[in-house]
Amino acid sequence: MNSPTSHFVPPRRMGVYDPIHQISMWEENFRSNVSLSASTLLIDDAEIKFDNQSEYASHGIPGTSKQYDQEANRLADKIQRRLAQNREAARKSRLRKKAYVQQLESCRVKLMQLEQEVDHAKQQGLHIGGTGLGSNSLGFAASLNSGITNFEMEYGRWLEERNRHTLALRNALSSHMGDVELGELVDGTMNHYFKLFGMKSAAAKADAFYVMSGMWKSSAERFFFWIGGFRPSEILKILVPRIETMTEQQRSDISNLGKSCQQAEDALSQGMDKLQQMVSESVAAGQLEEQTNTPNMSTAMERLAALVSFVNQADHLRQETLLQMSRILTKRQAARWLLALGEYFQRLQALSSFWANRPPKPAECLIP
């Protein structure tokens, strides 16, 4: 039987079919035959029995048209939900891609900054063993661990900052700056030296031999080297006369400070001598044919670990010397004292350059 107003709607359970494909299939069936019968529509037996529904529809059972419309609306809603889910997934994918691109750009900028720092360090001629990075000491530099490499880079920047502090102190003293502003410059310069002591402590943990040897200093600075840095008592002797007129109390306090520094230096030097003796005895106790992992060698390694403590104690003495001087002196005197200290190190570096670039002496002819 053919009904002129037959309604053909999707079945109730069509979850396993593709809705778009089914709709197109139904449209073709409608175009080929307006009056469809239940026998001409073939649906997989795995779905509900569609034949009975088609038969009911052809007989025009009341209420089925509304029910089929509801099913069609549900299918349309399901399609819209899936489309919305797809749009949301695409939006999140675009956001992830944008974040990934931004991360790549950030990494590229950081890499460029590192390359610029390396180029800048080479231009500044950072010293490893008193020579440039491109010299024959490159083999030694290649063997350094990451802690020492970072220290080399940081120390190069630290030198530039120290030179700026020294210049600022010189300009402030020549312009008769007020004590408040001058005190801020003094505190900033002091903190800058304290920063170096912290950098050296971290580097000593990475390689105490490197810090003790002074390979990061110029050749003239190494000539006056003492346990990883300058000797406080010597600095007091040569730089205190550069300070403007002092009171008798100030002179007495500085004299006592120098004596205390000398006593502490002697104690640390004696400890270093004792450590050298113990390490030498541990190494000498082994046999030539023995392997390097013998108990004697292990003992020597354990004793060498004390080098880190010696570097830290020596830097602590240097830091206390700077602090005591800043307390004894006025702000203007302390500024002049720190200016003299900075200029002293600058002159030692200049002396190293002059020595390295000195003209060779002609060979002397020895007459037998």
**What does the pLDDT look like over 183-210, one tens digit per residue?**
999 999 999 999 999 999 999 999 999 9
Whether residue 367 lies inside any domain: the answer is no
Residues 206 and 352 in one domain: yes
Query: According to the model, what pLDDT value does residue 287 have?
Result: 55
Residues 116 and 5 in one domain: yes
Higher pLDDT, 75 or 253: 253
Whether residue 333 lies inside any domain: the answer is yes
* Distance (Å, whole) CA 127 – CA 135: 10
Segment 121-139, tens digit of pLDDT: 555 544 444 433 333 343 3
Planar angle of CA 6, 10, 11, nearest 5 degrees:
110
**pLDDT bracket for residue 292 (50, 70, 90):** low
Query: According to the model, what pLDDT value does residue 280 have?
Result: 87
Query: According to the model, what pLDDT value does residue 291 have?
Result: 55
Tell me what the mean pLDDT of segment 8-21 comes to.
43
Query: According to the model, what pLDDT value does residue 74 have?
Result: 83
Residues 288 and 152 in one domain: yes
Higher pLDDT, 203 or 297: 203
Q: Tell me which amino acid residue 235 is.
A: I
Last residue within a domain, chosen from 103, 124, 145: 124
Query: According to the model, what pLDDT value does residue 332 have?
Result: 93
In the chain, the percentage of residues whose pLDDT exceeds 90 is 46
Whether residue 279 lies inside any domain: the answer is yes
Tell me what the mean pLDDT of segment 58-71 comes to.
64
Query: According to the model, what pLDDT value does residue 113 have?
Result: 66
CB 54 within 8 A of CB 38: yes
Segment 209-238, tens digit of pLDDT: 999 999 999 999 999 999 999 999 999 999
Residues 115 and 154 in one domain: no
Whether residue 180 lies inside any domain: the answer is yes
Query: According to the model, what pLDDT value does residue 163 have?
Result: 96
Is a pLDDT exceeding 50 seen at residue 145?
yes
Whether residue 190 lies inside any domain: the answer is yes
Residues 163 and 283 in one domain: yes
* Average pLDDT of the chain, as a whole number: 78
Which conformational region is residue 293 in: left (phi greater than 0), alpha (psi within -120 to 50 degrees), or beta? Answer: alpha
Residues 45 and 174 in one domain: no
Tell me what the mean pLDDT of segment 96-124 comes to.
70
DSSP letter assigned to residue 362: P
Tell me what the mean pLDDT of segment 148-162 comes to.
94
Last residue within a domain, chosen from 72, 100, 124: 124
Tell me what the mean pLDDT of segment 68-93 comes to.
86
Query: According to the model, what pLDDT value does residue 47 have?
Result: 45
Residues 188 and 256 in one domain: yes
Beta bridge mates, 131: 128
Give the predicted TM-score (pTM) of the model.
Answer: 0.60
Whether residue 146 lies inside any domain: the answer is yes
Whether residue 296 lies inside any domain: the answer is yes
Query: According to the model, what pLDDT value does residue 128 have?
Result: 40
Residues 215 and 157 in one domain: yes
Residues 242 and 331 in one domain: yes
Higher pLDDT, 359 or 366: 359
Residues 120 and 153 in one domain: no
Residues 257 and 196 in one domain: yes
Is a pLDDT exceeding 90 seen at residue 69?
no
Residue-range definition of the domain harbouring residue 100: 1-124
Query: According to the model, what pLDDT value does residue 137 have?
Result: 40
CB 128 within 8 A of CB 137: yes
Which conformational region is residue 130 in: left (phi greater than 0), alpha (psi within -120 to 50 degrees), or beta? Answer: left
Last residue within a domain, chosen from 71, 92, 124: 124
Whether residue 310 lies inside any domain: the answer is yes
Segment 256-290, tens digit of pLDDT: 999 999 999 999 999 999 999 988 888 887 654 55
| Domain total of the chain | 2
Residues 43 and 176 in one domain: no
Query: According to the model, what pLDDT value does residue 67 have?
Result: 76
Segment 318-365, tens digit of pLDDT: 999 999 999 999 999 999 999 999 999 999 999 999 998 888 876 554
* Distance (Å, whole) CA 58 – CA 2: 6
Map tokens 């190190």 to a residue. Answer: 345
